[in-house]
Structure 1
Amino acid sequence: MRAMVYRGPYRIRVEEKDVPAIEHPNDAIVRVALAAICGSDLHLYHGLMPDTRVGTTFGHEFIGVVEQVGSSVENLQVGDRVMVPFNVYCGSCFFCARGLYSNCHNVNPNATAVGGIYGYSHTTGGYHGGQAEYVRVPFADVGPQKIPEWIDDEDALLMTDALSTGYFGAQLGDIEEGDVVMVLGAGPVGLFAAKSAWLMGAGRVIVVDHLEYRLEKARTFAHAETVNFTEHDDLIVHMKRTTDHLGADVVIDCVGAEADGSFFQHLTGSRLKLQGGSPIALNWAIDSVRKGGTISVMGAYGPVFSAVKFGDAVNKGLTLRMNQCPVKRQWPRLFEHIRNGYLKPNDIVTHRIPLEHIAEGYHIFSAKLDGCIKPLIVPSAS
């Protein structure tokens, strides 16, 4: 098969690889119909995540058709169209039993923290991802779900991470009716978090970014107020002024380690691996939220030290909530919102790129060229 292969920071290519095989009776092999590049993939592409190994195939957002099933698989048959959450999880451990699928204890040697994730660093289990023509799906009776006939393929694809994560980010904010919600980052997850905040009763939604085309999308897609932080000498002072000098009730960090920070932060983060990227977005969240407010963290950070203003968070009495999204837990409600017309996920899709040109797709997405917000990948397998 043809698959995207990582060769080091900023170096990816499409190569011939063996089609994955059934390794366990509960595995399935899925022929990928559609995949995507996620902002979290850029953390790998830029070399910010530890233990990202040469030869890895990225891609944790994908849908496809079941090509083969293991002998113990009961819920899927060959030919089923399926959407696959980015979490790899067993469904039966202590954490899965409590709906914490992203913290599964049985799928990752590093399970003291996150569970398994397709196509990510080996800190998440070392599973190859869906930016390929085929992918092995473990625990096939647990994760994948048949795609309802009424849902568009692109909408189903975006539910495998970006939409579910944005919705989860708003959910973790414990938004109350009339709350002022500030979203840091107008990428796909930030846009979905902003849109979801309205569904949860927000009175104001303010999206912060530095790219005008993404802020325009926040205005048209998420109907949010927007702030370009490059236009203000001090973002925190500006946010306080626009919120009666109190701060936002809820701040959702949808940026993470890729935040624009100082030269020192990028040196210690991306070069020397001494911290999980730049902590600037999380510190903005701590400074911008009101005392007693809530911060929801959806941005990806490396599992190493980051210079976060934790003392300020303590002294302000903040609630910090965070996790990798337990994707499948969000699907029943999201199905309702999509079917009722409250959400049309593929409105944020800007590029559809053949697998053969995925290196160019990464470059376009990483360099923020051509108004790129969400690129989808179309494999050539038929």
Structure 2
Amino acid sequence: MKALTWHGKGDIRCESVADPSIEDDRDIIIRVTACAICGSDLHLMDGYMPTMKTGDVLGHETMGVVEEVGRAHSKFKHGDRVVVPFNLSCGECFFCQKQLYSLCDRSNRNADQAAKVMGQSPAGLLGYSHMLGGYAGGQAEYLRVPFADVGPIRVPDELDDEQVLFLSDIFPTGYMAAENADIEPGDTVAIWGCGPVGQFAIQSAWMLGAGRVIAIDRVPERLAKAREHGRAETLDFSQVDIYDALMEMTGGRGPDRCIDCVGTESNPTGSFDSALDQVKAALFLGTDRPHVLREAIFCCRKGGTISIPGVYVGLLDKVPFGPAMNKGLTFKMGQTHTQRYLEPLLQKVVSREIDPTFVITHRAGLEAGPDLYKTFRDKQDGCIKVVMKPGL
């Protein structure tokens, strides 16, 4: 089959690889009908995630049609159309029983590697390094889905692929980010990053009762999307000092809730701390560039909440923990417990409360994937979200 594969920093290829096969009785194999490039995939492309190997199949936003099921699998049958969550969860362990699915104790088959770096292992992820399970991803013609009796969800025939594809990751991730922010009715919510997750965090903040949403970015197309589809006020960080602007907009108090949808690769204009982070990364002295997190700590009002859906991969330098402690800030973060949100968010799509297709800017086949990775990373051609359809 054809698939997008990793061959080192900046080297993504579309090539032929072996078809997947059933490895466990709970598995299913799907024929992929739609998949997408996620912002966190760029961390793989840019070499920030360790334990990648040449030829690894990428991708964790995937849906398709069931082609084969394992002997013990009874949830789906051949021909069912399903969306697959990006994280893998057994459904039986301590954490899955608490619906903390991204912390599953059993799905990372290389848990010992992750524990050495993190203390304990999170769940295994599709297409996201050997430290997190070494599972092949879904930017391919076919995908093996482990623990398929727990993860995927069947989708109604009346919804097309593009309406439901983002249930695999970015819609639940944006929603959980807003939920983690502990939004109270009327709150002012500041959201750093107007990429795909940021766009869904904006939509979700309104759903959860925000009185005001302020979106921060510097890419004109993303800021326009936040205004036009998200009804957010916007700030261009290349044009204004974000701290000063937020203080002025909130009467000196600061936003009640701050959401970091950027994560490890923030790149602000003229920021000394981010420039230093970039130098450290280039010299292999650091892995992350946490400018947004630092800024959110200073900007958030006293007693406020900072939610972090943006992916970080290692140790962070110069995080102002003293100000965070003295301001009494609450932090909530983590990979999304996707399975918890699939049914309720699907119903929001069915009821037309939201049409997730608003974020799509580029559509193509797998062959165009390597070039589109670069287009997405470099924010060229107005690129916000790429959807790929094998055979297109």
TM-score, L = length of structure 2: 0.94
1:249 paired residue number: 256
Write out aligned runs for 1:134-153 (5 A).
134-153=142-161
More deviation, 168-177/105-114: 105-114
Residue identity opposite 2:361 in structure 1: T
How far apart, CA to CA, are the structure 2 residues paired with 1:337 and 1:353?
27
* CA distances 1:263-310 after superposition (whole Å, capped 9, x unpaired): 3201223x3444332010111111110010000001001133443222
SS of structure 2 residue aligned to 1:357: helix
How far apart, CA to CA, are the structure 2 residues paired with 1:307 and 1:378?
42
- Count, aligned residues: 379
Q: Is the 8 A contact 1:276 1:306 kept in 2?
A: no
Does 1:347 find its partner at 2:358?
A: yes
1:54 paired residue number: 54
Aligned to 2:242, which of 235, 242, 255? 235
Q: Is the 8 A contact 1:274 1:304 kept in 2?
A: no
Aligned to 1:268, which of 256, 271, 280? 280
Does 1:318 find its partner at 2:329?
A: yes
* CA distances 1:233-284 after superposition (whole Å, capped 9, x unpaired): x211211111110100000000001101533201223x34443320101111
Q: Give the Å deviation of 1:28.
A: 1.0
How far apart, CA to CA, are the structure 2 residues paired with 1:50 and 1:316?
34
How far apart, CA to CA, are the structure 1 residues paired with 2:14 and 2:346?
34
How far apart, CA to CA, are the structure 1 residues paired with 2:287 and 2:293?
12
Residue identity opposite 1:104 in structure 2: C
In the alignment, structure 2 segments of 5+ residues that lack a partner are 269-273
How far apart, CA to CA, are the structure 1 residues paired with 2:210 and 2:78?
44
How far apart, CA to CA, are the structure 2 residues paired with 1:244 and 1:336?
38
More deviation, 334-343/62-71: 334-343
Q: Give the Å deviation of 1:197.
A: 0.5
More deviation, 206-215/102-111: 102-111
SS of structure 2 residue aligned to 1:218: helix
Residue identity opposite 1:303 in structure 2: G
More deviation, 210-219/118-127: 118-127
Does 1:130 find its partner at 2:161?
A: no
How far apart, CA to CA, are the structure 2 residues paired with 1:323 and 1:77?
33
**C-alpha RMSD of matched pairs (Å):** 1.3
Q: Give the Å deviation of 1:328.
A: 1.7
1:169 paired residue number: 177
How far apart, CA to CA, are the structure 2 residues paired with 1:174 and 1:374?
27
Q: Give the Å deviation of 1:337.
A: 1.9
1:79 paired residue number: 79
How far apart, CA to CA, are the structure 1 residues paired with 2:100 and 2:368?
36
Residue identity opposite 1:259 in structure 2: S
SS of structure 2 residue aligned to 1:95: helix
How far apart, CA to CA, are the structure 1 residues paired with 2:30 and 2:279?
40
More deviation, 46-55/59-68: 46-55
Residue identity opposite 1:267 in structure 2: V
Q: Percent identity?
A: 46
Q: Is the 8 A contact 2:25 2:72 kept in 1?
A: yes
Q: Is the 8 A contact 1:197 1:205 kept in 2?
A: yes
Q: 1:272 to 1:136 in 2, by over 3 A?
A: farther
SS of structure 1 residue aligned to 2:63: strand
Q: Is the 8 A contact 2:289 2:316 kept in 1?
A: no
How far apart, CA to CA, are the structure 1 residues paired with 2:15 and 2:379?
25
How far apart, CA to CA, are the structure 1 residues paired with 2:228 and 2:52?
36
How far apart, CA to CA, are the structure 2 residues paired with 1:50 and 1:267?
19
Residue identity opposite 1:216 in structure 2: A
Q: Is the 8 A contact 1:3 1:133 kept in 2?
A: yes
How far apart, CA to CA, are the structure 2 residues paired with 1:95 and 1:83?
22
How far apart, CA to CA, are the structure 1 residues paired with 2:377 and 2:305?
30
TM-score, L = length of structure 1: 0.96
Q: Is the 8 A contact 2:29 2:66 kept in 1?
A: yes
Q: Is the 8 A contact 2:128 2:134 kept in 1?
A: yes
SS of structure 2 residue aligned to 1:47: coil
1:20 paired residue number: 20
SS of structure 2 residue aligned to 1:292: coil
